[in-house]
Structures are given as C-alpha cells and as structure tokens.
Amino acid sequence: MRRYRFSVVVERDSDGFFAYCPQLQGCYADGETEDEVLANIEDAIRLHVEDRLATGEEIPQAEHFTGTNVEVAVE
C-alpha cells in the first residue's frame, strides 16, 4: 500500500465546514462538523489519487505548507 501526504485547508462557512486540497485541483468536500469535513476530504483525496493512478498521472506531494490568517485594513 502506497502512502501520500497532502495539505488540506479547512474553512468554516455559514453551512458548516469546507475543505480543499491545494495539490489536487478540484478536490474539495464539505460537512456539518469539522470531523465530518475531514473524513469527507480524506475520501475525496483517496478517490482523486486512485483516479490519477489509474490514468498514469503524476501524484503531487506536499513539500511544505504554512497556514495562517492575515488581517488587512482597507479605507
């Protein structure tokens, strides 16, 4: 069994939570709770990787990821 490491961004929105994987374009999930969205994004990533492997596509790996919030002031 091969193992892969990916970055995941989780955001809270008005409907619950939204997550996406920056390395895998179009790979995203939602959920009512943070635990649910994490389980859903893991499933989405697994399916995405399985599809890429089946078609012989490269699997991009997370090399470095830093997440933070930035506040800006606008007049």
pLDDT of amino acid 44: 97
Q: Between 3.30.160.250, 3.30.70.3270, 2.60.40.1730, 3.40.190.10, what CATH number should domain 1-66 receive?
A: 3.30.160.250
- 40: which residues sit within 8 A by CB, 6+ positions away? 19, 29, 30, 31
For 52, residues 6+ apart whose C-beta sits below 8 A from its C-beta are 58, 59
pLDDT tens-place string over residues 15-73: 899 999 999 999 999 999 999 999 999 999 999 999 999 999 999 987 787 888 888 88
pLDDT of residue 63: 78
Q: Where are the domains of the chain?
A: 1-66
Mean pLDDT of the chain: 92
The answer to whether the predicted template modeling score (pTM) of the entire model surpasses 0.95 is no
Residue-level pLDDT at 69: 80
